[in-house]
Chains A and B, each alone.
Chain A
Amino acid sequence: MFVLRRLSSALPTLFAVSLLVFLFVDLIPGDPAQILAGPTASNEEIESIRKFLGLNEPLLSRYGQFLRGIFDPSVATSFRTHRPVVVELAERLPNTLIVSIGGLAIGVVLGTLAGIVCAMRPGGIADALITVLTLAGISMPIYWLGLLCIWYFAVNLGWLPAAGASTPMHFVLPILVIATRPAAMFSRLVATSLTESMGRDYLDTARAKGLSETRVVLFHALRNSLIAAVSVAGVQFGGMLGGSVVTETVFGIPGVGRLLVDAVSRADYPVIQYAILMFAVFFVAINLVTDLLTQWLDPRTRDQERLA
C-alpha cells in the first residue's frame, strides 16, 4: 500500500531530523553553558547552567529526555522564562497557523484567477500586467512589502492596525502581504499548465459538445492542473510556515516564528530546539499529505495502487 510505504519512509526522516535537532546544542563550538553564563560567570553558575541543560548526562539519556520533552511539559523549559517550551509553542501556534493558512488560501484563489486570465487571453493587457506583477511578487522581499503596507495602510490611511494580534483586523494586513508569494507562484503554475493543456484534443472534444469556453477551461483544463497545484500548494504552505520567522517580526505577531527569532538572539537553546523540531515535523507532515493527495487525485496512479 502506498500510504503505508510513504509513512514508513517518513519515519526514518523524522528520526534523523530529531537527532539533528537534538545534537544542535553539541554542535555549538565551545561550551554552551559558558556562552550562556557570560564571560564573568563563576564556575558554580556555569555548573548550574550545565545541570539545567542536562549537559552532564550521557548522550543517550539526554536524547531520551529530549524526546520526552515533546509530551511532558515539565522536562523541557525555556532557559529564559522557565516556562515549559511546549506551552510557549502551543500558545503561539494558532497565530502562526491563521496567518499561514489565510495567506495561502487568498494567494491560491488570486493566483488561480490571474493564471486563468493569462492563459485565456495570452498577449493581452491583463496578461502583460499579471506577468509583471507575478515577477514583482516573486522578487519582492516580504519584509519590505510589509513595511510599505504598514506605512501606507496603517500609518497613512489608518485603515488597519500596524502591529499585534489582538483583533481579527490585525491579521488582515499580514495575510494579504504574505499572500503575494503563493499568488505569484500559482498564477505562473496555472497559466503554464493551462497554456500547455490548451492544445490538447480532449479540450476540443469538450468544445465540440457545445460547452462554453469558461466551462471547458474550468472543468476540463483546470482540473488537470489540480494535481500539480496540490504539490505546489504544499510547498508554499511549508514556505509560509518558515517565512513566519520574518513576517511575524515585521507585523509584531506573537507567533512561533517570532518566538524562534527571539530565542536565537537570546540563545535560548531549548526553545530553539523544539521550535525547529516543530517546523520540521510540520514540513514532513505537509509533504506526506501532499504526496498522498496527489496520489489519490490522479485516477491513473490511484488504480495502480489498487492493483498492486
Chain B
Amino acid sequence: MSLAQDMAAVPERAESTTAKPNPAWTLLRRILVQPKGAVGLTLVVLYLVLAVIGPALAPQDAFRQNFAQTLRPPSAAHWFGTDQLGRDVFSRILIGARATLGIGVGGVTVAFLIGVPLGILAAWRRGWIEAVLMRAIDVMLSFPDIVFALAVVAILGANTQNVIIAVGVVSIPVFARTARAVTLSVLAEPYIEGSVALGASPARVIMRHVLPNISGTLLTLSTLLFASTLLSASGLGFLGLGTQPPFPEWGTMLGDSRSYIRSHPYLATFPGLFLAVSALAFNLLGDALRTIYDPTSRRAARRLPMLNFLRRRTAASAPPAAGLAAAPAGPDAPVVAVEGLHLAFRTGEGLLEVVRGVDLTICAGRTLAIVGESGSGKSTLLRAIGTLANPQEVAITAGTVAIGGEPALGLPAAAVRDLRRRKIGIVFQDAASALNPVLTVGAQLAEAVRAGSRLGPQAVRQRCIALLRDVNIADPERRLEMYPHQFSGGMKQRIVIAIALAQNPELLLADEPTSALDVTIQQQILVLLREIQRKRGMAILLVTHDLNLVARFADDVAVMYAGRLVESGAIATVLEQPLHPYTQALRASAPGAGEGRGQPLRSIPGEPPLVGQLPSGCAFRPRCPRSANRAECAAQEPPERMVASRQVACVFAEEALS
C-alpha cells in the first residue's frame, strides 16, 4: 500500500483541461511520445481487446476434458499444450483473459466508486466526517492487503464475484486517501476559495473545479493500482481461493500447474507470462501517466534518451580544449587564468552555448567581481572555473582554465580532487542548501580538514575550532556538535566560509554569497571575507548582480552580458566612467547610483536575450540606446579592445568618453 503514500505526497496541479481544444487527444499524444507510454498503452489496448473478443477466438472448447491427451507439450494442435485434464491451454488462456482482467477492472471500479466520493466528501466537509474516515482508513491499512482480501474471501466464500469485492475493498482506503489529499490541495487554491465566496454550490465547485483537477492523479493511481490488483486477485486464484473450476483464470491456472512443475514446466509458462506482461503493461502506462501529471517526477522527465550515453561518452573522452599546454604556468602566474572559455548546456536538442569566449585573470590577494543579470552565464562560469560544472549538464567546448598555474580542465578525477583540495574553496548563495542538513557542522568541517591533511582526531578538532574562530563564531566547541538548521542564515554562511577556508585555498569562489542575507549581515560577511583575504592573500572570484557591493568590496570588475564579458577593468576605472552602454545602464539602475531623491529607480529596457537565441552582431544591440540601428553593431560581435585602460566590447566605446 505504499502507493497511497506515494500519491498522497504529491498533490499535482493539472493545467486546466478546458483551455485545450481536445484534452483526450492531447493526453494520448503525451502518452505516446514516451517510449514506455507507447509500449504500455499498446499492450493495455491489446489486453482489453483480448478480454472482449478472447472467448470468440478460442480455437477449441476450453472446458472439454480429454483424458487421452493430458499434459501434452505445445504442438500444432495445442499451441500451448494441454493441461492435466486434457484441455487446450491456449483456449483456456483466451477465455481466462475475461475473468482475469475483469476481476482487475471490477476491483478498481469498486474501489474508485466508493473511495473517491468518500475522499472528496472528507476534504469538502472536514470535521467529524474526515476524522472518522481517516481513522477507518488507518484501521484498514493495518492489515496487509492480501491478508485483508483473504479475510473477505473467508467471510463471503471463494468465487469470482467475491474476489472482486475483496480486492476492491482493499483498495478503497488508497483511493479515499489520495482523493482527499488532492482535493484538499485543489480546494486551497485561491480561485476555488473565490468561487465559494461568490456562492457557487458545492456540487458545482466539485464538478467544475475539483474533478477536472484531480482526474489526472486518479487516472494514474487507477492504472498503477490495476496492476497490483491484478496480481493480488490472481494470487488469490493461485491459492485456490479465486475463480472456481472449471472456469479458467490465469492465477488459478498457475495454481493448478504447481503440482506439475517438476514434470511439465510449460504448464506454468503461459498463464504466468500473460499475467506478468499485463501487469507490466499497466505499470508502464501508469508510469507514463505519472510523468505527465506529476511534475515532481523529474527523474523521468529529465532523463536523456537511452542511446545518448554513446554520444556523451565520446564527447567526454574527446580532448576538452585545444592548447592545454599554452596555459600560463609558473610561480608568478595569476591564481586564475581563463582563456577563450566556451561553455554550453547539454539539452535534448543539442548544445546551447551559455558562455561564449571569456578571458579573465585574477592575481593573489585581488578580488574580481563578475556582474550581470540572471541568465547571463555568470554562475555557470564560476562553477566551471571551480571544476564543479556538472559534466552531464554543462559541456566545456573550448578554452583553458588554469588555477595556481596548473591546468584545471580535462584532468583525470584524482587530479581534479587534488586541485580542489589544495587550491579551491567555494561559497554559495544559499548557505542553507550548501550545508548537508543531516550532518553536524563539526562533521562537515572535519571532513574538509581531513581531506587536506593527515592530522589525528584531536588535531582535526583543534583545527575546526580555530576555523570557526576565524569566521568569528563564538563558543566554537559547542557549535561543532550542532546541526545546520540550528544556526541563523548569517551563521550558516560563516560556516560555509569556514569549510571553504579549511584547506587554505588560493582561490575562493563566491556565488552571490550575501544576496540571501539581510543588509547588516551582508556587511558583516563582506568585512569578514575582506579580513580573511588580507590575512591569507587568496584571490576571490565574486559573482553578483549587486553593483553597490562590487563598488565596496572588489578590486576589479567584469560585466557579463549574454555569455561574454562586455567590459572589464579596475573598479575605479569602470564604475567611475563606464564605456559600454550595458555597464552604463547597470550603473544607472543600481539603487543610489543615478537617481535623485524621490525619483523612481531606473530599469534597463527590454529583456535579456534567451540562451541560444542571440541577435546577430552585438548581443546587446536590441536594448542598446547607442546602437540606433547602426550597421556596425549588426555586422559582427564587437571584439574586446583596450579603451581608456579597460577592456570593452563595443564598437562605439569612445563615444562615452567625449
Of B384-392, B607-615, B639-647, which stretch is located at the interface? Answer: B384-392
B145 touches A242 (CB 8 A): yes
A233 and B278 CA atoms in complex are apart in Å by 26
B143 touches A17 (CB 8 A): yes
A18 and B493 CA atoms in complex are apart in Å by 54
Determine if B125 is an interface residue (Cβ-Cβ < 8 Å).
no
Q: Which of A27, A125, A207, A283 has the most chain B CB within a 10 Å cutoff?
A: A207
A181 to chain B, nearest CB (A): 10
Residues in chain B near residue A224, CB distance under 8 A: 436-438
A144 touches B155 (CB 8 A): no
Determine if B630 is an interface residue (Cβ-Cβ < 8 Å).
no
Q: Which of A125, A202, A279 has the most chain B CB within a 10 Å cutoff?
A: A202
B279 touches A141 (CB 8 A): yes
Determine if A168 is an interface residue (Cβ-Cβ < 8 Å).
no
Residues in chain B near residue A303, CB distance under 8 A: 483, 485-486
Considering only residues 418-451 of chain B, those with a C-beta below 8 Å from chain A are 418-422, 424-426, 428, 430, 433-440, 444, 447-448, 451
Partner of A279, one of B139, B143, B424, B500: B143
B306 touches A135 (CB 8 A): no
B147 touches A204 (CB 8 A): no
A245 touches B139 (CB 8 A): no
Encoded as 1 (CB less than 8 Å from any B CB) or 0, chain A from 91 to 132 comes to: 000000000000000000000000000000111110110000
A side interface size, CB within 8 A: 89
Determine if B191 is an interface residue (Cβ-Cβ < 8 Å).
no
A16 and B140 CA atoms in complex are apart in Å by 9
B312 touches A123 (CB 8 A): yes
Determine if A270 is an interface residue (Cβ-Cβ < 8 Å).
no
A141 and B253 CA atoms in complex are apart in Å by 13
Determine if B597 is an interface residue (Cβ-Cβ < 8 Å).
no
Determine if B499 is an interface residue (Cβ-Cβ < 8 Å).
yes
Determine if B275 is an interface residue (Cβ-Cβ < 8 Å).
yes
B280 touches A261 (CB 8 A): no
A17 and B146 CA atoms in complex are apart in Å by 16
Chain B, Cβ-Cβ closest to A245:
B146
A204 touches B426 (CB 8 A): yes
A223 touches B436 (CB 8 A): yes
B154 touches A267 (CB 8 A): yes
Residues in chain A near residue B424, CB distance under 8 A: 208
Partner of A249, one of B239, B257, B277, B451: B239
Of B200-208, B260-268, B466-474, which stretch is located at the interface? Answer: B260-268
Residues in chain A near residue B485, CB distance under 8 A: 299-300, 303
Determine if B593 is an interface residue (Cβ-Cβ < 8 Å).
no
B146 touches A243 (CB 8 A): yes
A202 and B265 CA atoms in complex are apart in Å by 54
Of A44-52, A61-69, A171-179, A191-199, which stretch is located at the interface? Answer: A191-199
A141 touches B235 (CB 8 A): yes
A246 touches B306 (CB 8 A): no
Determine if B503 is an interface residue (Cβ-Cβ < 8 Å).
yes
Residues in chain A near residue B430, CB distance under 8 A: 201
Determine if A159 is an interface residue (Cβ-Cβ < 8 Å).
no
A245 touches B147 (CB 8 A): yes
B151 touches A272 (CB 8 A): yes
A16 touches B434 (CB 8 A): no
B536 to chain A, nearest CB (A): 17
A209 touches B451 (CB 8 A): yes
Residues in chain B near residue A245, CB distance under 8 A: 144, 146-147, 150, 235, 239
Encoded as 1 (CB less than 8 Å from any B CB) or 0, chain A from 182 to 196 comes to: 000100000110011
B272 to chain A, nearest CB (A): 3
Partner of A155, one of B241, B262, B308: B262
A29-B156, A202-B435 given. 15 additional CB < 8 A pairs?
Answer: A16-B135, A27-B155, A125-B309, A138-B227, A141-B235, A141-B275, A143-B238, A144-B271, A147-B254, A202-B433, A205-B496, A209-B502, A212-B413, A264-B241, A303-B486
A-B residue pairs, 4 tightest by C-beta: A242-B144, A210-B421, A144-B272, A139-B280
Which A residues are within 8 Å of any B CB, using their own CB? 12-14, 16-17, 20, 24, 27-29, 121-125, 127-128, 135-136, 138-144, 147-148, 150-151, 155, 162, 185, 191-192, 195-196, 198-202, 204-213, 219-220, 223-224, 226-227, 231-232, 235-236, 238-239, 241-243, 245-246, 249-250, 260-261, 263-265, 267, 272, 276, 279-280, 283-284, 287, 297-300, 303
Which B residues are within 8 Å of any A CB, using their own CB? 1-2, 5, 36, 135, 138-139, 141-147, 150-151, 153-156, 158, 227, 231, 234-235, 238-241, 251, 254-255, 257-258, 261-262, 265, 268, 271-272, 275-277, 279-280, 283-284, 287, 297-299, 302-306, 308-309, 312, 383, 386, 388, 390, 392, 413, 417-422, 424-426, 428, 430, 433-440, 444, 447-448, 451-452, 483, 485-486, 496, 499-500, 502-503
